[in-house]
Amino acid sequence: MPAPQNDARRAALVKGASKAKIKALVNLNACTGCEVCIAVCPVPDCIEKFGEDPTNWGVYVNYDICIGCMLCAKDCPWDTIRMVPTTAVAGHVSSLDSQLDHNHAAFENPEVVPDHLRDFANKPPVTDPVVVNLFQKQNPQVPGLMSPK
C-alpha cells in the first residue's frame, strides 16, 4: 500500500523520478482498465484511471513521478505497458501524450481525463522507432533498458 501523498513527499518523488532513465508507457488501445498496475505501483497517484465504462476507460502514468521501477510493466495481465527511454517521451506530461495511435475513445472525448492533461489529444502519435519496436514485442523486458540506473 503506497504511503499517503503530501507536498514534501511528492517533491521528493519528482526529484527522484527526474533521474529515472525509463518510464512506463500504457498503450491505451490494449488496456482493459483492470487496475492491477495501480495496485502494484509503489508511488501514490502515479497511475490513474479515467473513463466511465469499458467503452472509454483506461489508465495513464504521470511521468513526473514515475520512478521507472518496472513493477507495472511486469504485472500487467494484458501486456499493455512498456518501459521506454525517458528521452523518447521528453516533454510529455503523462503516458496519454505518448500514444502510438489515436484510436482510443478518449481522443474523441478528452474531457474524460483531468483538465491539466487534456492536451494529449493534440499530441501527434509517437513514431520513435525504439518505442514502436518495444510495443511490437510481446515481452516488455529489454535487458539493455532495464540495467541499473
For binding to ligand SF4 (CB under 6 A), which residues are involved? Answer: 24, 26, 31-37, 41, 43, 46-47, 59, 61, 66-72, 76, 78, 80-81
CB closer to ligand SF4 out of 31 and 96: 31
CB closer to ligand SF4 out of 70 and 121: 70
**At closest approach, how far in Å is the CB of 89 from ligand SF4?**
12
**At closest approach, how far in Å is the CB of 27 from ligand SF4?**
8
**At closest approach, how far in Å is the CB of 127 from ligand SF4?**
22
Contact between 123 and 112 under an 8 Å Cβ cutoff? The reply is no
Cα dihedral 108, 111, 114, 120 sign: positive
How many CB atoms are closer than 10 A to CB 127?
A: 8
Report how far residue 94's alpha carbon sits from residue 116's, in angstroms, rounded to the nearest whole number: 10
What residue type is assigned to position 113 of the chain?
V
**At closest approach, how far in Å is the CB of 110 from ligand SF4?**
19
Q: Which of 115, 123, 148 is nearest to 25 (CA)?
A: 123
DSSP state of 94: B
CB closer to ligand SF4 out of 78 and 125: 78
**At closest approach, how far in Å is the CB of 57 from ligand SF4?**
9
CB closer to ligand SF4 out of 70 and 130: 70
Contact between 140 and 72 under an 8 Å Cβ cutoff? The reply is no
CB closer to ligand SF4 out of 72 and 126: 72
Report how far residue 73's alpha carbon sits from residue 145's, in angstroms, rounded to the nearest whole number: 13
